[in-house]
Chain A
């Protein structure tokens, strides 16, 4: 493995809420509330969680598309958040993003050729002919006909549009790509193709991915390590194998138990969480998961958990944020043993 490429320390993104007669700041939406992680070069970090847990916001903060309230993001040693405009633009060549909605993220008034040429235009790379050639190469690389350059996004299907989005992201040969739910808007058969494309590109170009998703079965195929987020905090982070085999945090356990199994003969034990996700404006005290946790105890309401190594491990390979991890025994998820891991 290569060295650490991306390092995030205590990132917080609080969106202000204004209200009252004088439009003062009366509160904040704590979208990201103290996230620390590290991604090594060449690996894929999966970032999972429910809708609204802050994963998309985190992804955008990593690229400084939102300016975080506090914390640091270090890319290759450089503090991304402190860079000036010129340096930031140069850095943007190395960090790119694939967006969730393949239609919204492409400007409907541009032809596909123009959309893919824009990164080269912005950074003034090559002559006009060279740029056109590169666009044709990009289209071929993602499995589309280069003649599609003159067509408009709405003339393509959803999966093809996502391929165009991927082509745009790899145009500048970045080192890190943040994939913000790239397959959530596609149907299952296309999802597999896109994921295979992403994996091929990773091998070929030596890319590092931060793969944001809410679908654990998708992340299983893609990620080397997985971080599970809840209400703006990471509650568990481990390599994929360990996470699926022995999750420590009750939330992770419930998520994994909820993965549908395409075999009607297998009966799975349902782990149902009570209640709804709390609001990020008023997160609960102590462990933010305690209102829904089946193992909640008195101290869970008071103490705020930190990410600590899982019981039984020493180094930082498997981190979790449950206060009672050593005491509780999560029911084994037998059926997962039958399935092929990565």
Chain B
């Protein structure tokens, strides 16, 4: 599919906004790294060389201690295994990921209570939280969950928005009036209370939470697409398509919606950022994903309650600031690339 020269020009304009371009690179890097989080932050070793054979425990099934000559049947503690191999000097070695802790394991030490301060010796680079889980691990896995949540929410909102919004805009009439009233009523329902009520009755898992948030988030994108559909319907090329005998569905999907791409693309980064914020806020209040799911909001809640363990709050705040800043810069740059000199000013 050949890219229109208009699109190429927009991409070039986007690239010329250095702030947005680098934010995109940084954010893409973060997301890519979080996709491979298991290789960077994991309690499982990357490679184990034992008695001449190689094991790759990261993505496989649980390898009990007996596999490596230890005397227990539950999952091998690879950190301890590394120490055991090192003391034996038998040619066996263990390669651990950069951060050798998982987000769900409690690293408890004798005679000390968590939260433990950051220490390079222990490889707890950002310390632990109040029950001994590594903060960096929680951050990385929490980021992945937050980003997936936002993207899933964006996709759900987009699907609903496109179908209802374009129907409203294109056919208008009673359908449009009816849905406008629904939108008016629904947008006045207090979203937070409803979520609290639902969360108290049924603890939501990931998909249920996406569904609940989509139930409230579909309105803004629907309205935008409805406006675009009304505007595009009056354009002459739609009239030309009708004169040729094009069906309504064909006009909507092949003419109107591609012309709303501009709006969607400028909408998307801000939707991602608002998704991350919403999930974090819900988790902070305790009404989001259930524990022990790693989540920034939950970390924030712990950190707020234990301000003397400053590393918890500091890590989350820095992580959030970086993430939201990059996403916002991307969004502004995309908006500028589509509509130059209409919104923000750049030096």
A residues apposed to B, CB below 8 Å: 60, 63, 65, 88-90, 92-93, 96-97, 99, 101, 104-109, 111, 118-119, 122-123, 150, 152, 154-155, 165, 168, 172
Which residue of chain B has the shortest Cβ distance to A100 in the bound complex?
Answer: B236
Q: Which residues of A contact B235 (CB under 8 A)?
A: 104
B236 interface neighbour in A96, A101, A119, A168, Cβ under 8 Å: A101
B42 CB → nearest A CB, Å: 45
A128 CB → nearest B CB, Å: 15
A96 CB → nearest B CB, Å: 7
- With contacts defined as CB atoms under 8 Å apart, how many contacts are there between chain A and chain B in the complex? 60
B244 interface neighbour in A60, A96, A104, A155, Cβ under 8 Å: A96
- Structural contact, A122 and B246, CB atoms closer than 8 A: yes
Which residue of chain A has the shortest Cβ distance to B258 in the bound complex?
Answer: A109
Query: Can you list 28 A-B pairs with a CB-CB distance of less than 8 A?
Result: A65-B239, A88-B245, A89-B245, A92-B245, A93-B245, A96-B244, A97-B240, A97-B243, A99-B236, A99-B239, A104-B236, A104-B237, A105-B237, A106-B237, A106-B240, A107-B259, A109-B259, A111-B2, A118-B241, A118-B244, A118-B246, A119-B245, A122-B244, A122-B250, A123-B245, A150-B2, A152-B6, A172-B244
Interface size on B, as a range, is 20 to 34
Q: Which residues of B contact A118 (CB under 8 A)?
A: 241, 244, 246
- Structural contact, B240 and A105, CB atoms closer than 8 A: yes
Main secondary structure of the interface of B (DSSP, over half): helix
Compute how far the CA of A93 lies from the CA of B240 in the bound complex, rounded to whole angstroms: 13
Given A105-B237, A119-B244, A122-B250, 10 new contacts (CB under 8 A) = A65-B239, A88-B245, A89-B245, A89-B247, A92-B245, A96-B244, A99-B240, A104-B237, A152-B4, A155-B5
Q: Which residues of B contact A107 (CB under 8 A)?
A: 237, 241, 255, 259
Compute how far the CA of A60 lies from the CA of B236 in the bound complex, rounded to whole angstroms: 12
Compute how far the CA of A271 lies from the CA of B255 in the bound complex, rounded to whole angstroms: 47
B242 part of interface (Cβ distance < 8 Å): yes
Compute how far the CA of A150 lies from the CA of B1 in the bound complex, rounded to whole angstroms: 10
Q: Which residues of B contact A90 (CB under 8 A)?
A: 245
B73 CB → nearest A CB, Å: 62
B residues apposed to A, CB below 8 Å: 2, 4-6, 235-237, 239-247, 250, 255, 258-259
Q: Which residues of B contact A93 (CB under 8 A)?
A: 245
Q: Which residues of B contact A172 (CB under 8 A)?
A: 244
Query: A105-B237, A111-B2, A122-B250 given as contacts; is B242 within 8 A of A65 (CB)?
Result: yes
Q: Which residues of A contact B246 (CB under 8 A)?
A: 118, 122
- Structural contact, A108 and B6, CB atoms closer than 8 A: yes
The 8 closest A-B pairs by CB, nearest first: A92-B245, A89-B245, A104-B236, A107-B237, A105-B236, A97-B243, A105-B240, A119-B244
Which residue of chain B has the shortest Cβ distance to A102 in the bound complex?
Answer: B236
Q: Which residues of B contact A119 (CB under 8 A)?
A: 244-245
